[in-house]
Amino acid sequence: MFAQDSTLISLLLAVGLAAVHLFANRLLFLDTIPRSRWLSIAGGASVAYVFIHIFPELSSGQTVIEQANHPLVGFLEHHVYLLALLGFAVFYGLERIAKESRQQNREAGGGDTTTREVFWLHIASFAIYNLLIGYLLLHREEPGLHSLVFFFLAMALHFVVNDYGLREHHKKIYRHIGRWILAAAVLLGWGIGRATEVDEAAIALFFAFLAGGVILNVLKEELPEERDSRFWAFALGAGVYTALLLGL
């Protein structure tokens, strides 16, 4: 039964993820200092998904990659975790660029926001990120409704955290343009997944890159001292989602 309905369910969940970007700005209780406990809970849950679900899958994915005779992934034969590191490094670099752009704008009297060039770089990068997530709604290493729902919930919580950070960096232009592009990217990724299918080795690499990106995008919001984050809320989110993933 699920096999017959999986396409429709995944489409509805893709719409749900797109809606997070469109309506997260209405969650005014998130815009507080100290950092909203709900953002910390969401961050903890999405990181738990990476460590409890994605990283163990990468171990089995490594075997698939080693057995694959694929020209594009052959150079990663023994290095699936390099993709996780790459995802981490890419989004770390994007965060540094955005912060430096805001600082330069403040010093020049242009306001606490990024330049247009940095905005488009950020949005293009996160659009590819969201496109990948939309694609993985249809093609995951572990099939089934249980896996799909947990992936959706983790990514929905992760999108709340991402949306908060992007609104803080880019202000009005993100609300007027950026969030619509990111919402559309999820649906486009789902559409590409519906039309095409790659092999298991490529799926493992996609998940590896996603894992690194999730970890950085959560920790960059939790660790800075000025965030005044709530460790107990982060730990609660991680603990509860871990328990759910382990079936406790």
Residue 39, pLDDT score? 77
Q: 66-119: per-residue pLDDT in tens? A: 665 555 555 555 567 888 889 999 999 999 999 999 999 888 887 888 899 999
Q: Which two tokens stand for residue 178?
A: 């950026």
Question: Rounded to whole angstroms, how far apart are CA atoms 12 and 137?
Answer: 10
In contact, 21 and 163? CB cutoff 8 Å: yes
In contact, 68 and 199? CB cutoff 8 Å: yes
**At 15, which helix (H) or strand (E)?**
helix 2-23
Mean pLDDT over residues 61-69, rounded? 60
Question: Rounded to whole angstroms, how far apart are CA atoms 248 and 242?
Answer: 9
Residue 15, pLDDT score? 96
Residues 6+ apart with CB under 8 A from 6: 138, 145, 148
Q: Which two tokens stand for residue 53?
A: 């679900």
Residue 28, pLDDT score? 53
Band the pLDDT of 2: cuts 50, 70, 90.
Answer: very low
Q: 223-232: per-residue pLDDT in tens? A: 665 556 677 8
Orientation of helix 179-195 relative to helix 2-23, angle to 10°:
160
Band the pLDDT of 1: cuts 50, 70, 90.
Answer: very low
End-to-end alpha carbon distance in the chain: 26
Residue 204, pLDDT score? 79
Amino acid letter, residue 100 = E
Determine if residue 168 is left, alpha or beta; phi over 0 gives left, psi from -120 to 50 gives alpha, anything else beta.
alpha
Is residue 243's pLDDT more than 80?
Answer: yes
Domain boundaries of the chain, sorted by first residue:
42-245
Report the share of the chain in percent with pLDDT over 70: 81
Amino acid letter, residue 63 = T
The model carries a pTM of 0.85
Question: Rounded to whole angstroms, how far apart are CA atoms 43 and 215?
Answer: 9
Half-sphere exposure of 128 toward its Cβ, with a 13 Å CA cutoff? 12
Question: Rounded to whole angstroms, how far apart are CA atoms 218 and 206?
Answer: 18
Residue 142, pLDDT score? 72
The 8-class DSSP code of residue 26 comes to G
The 8-class DSSP code of residue 178 comes to I
Residue 184, pLDDT score? 96
Half-sphere exposure of 119 toward its Cβ, with a 13 Å CA cutoff? 20
Residue 97, pLDDT score? 94
Residue 135, pLDDT score? 94
Amino acid letter, residue 225 = E
Cis omega (within 30 of 0) for bond into 34? yes
Q: 168-219: per-residue pLDDT in tens? A: 899 899 999 999 999 999 999 999 999 988 777 778 788 888 888 888 888 8
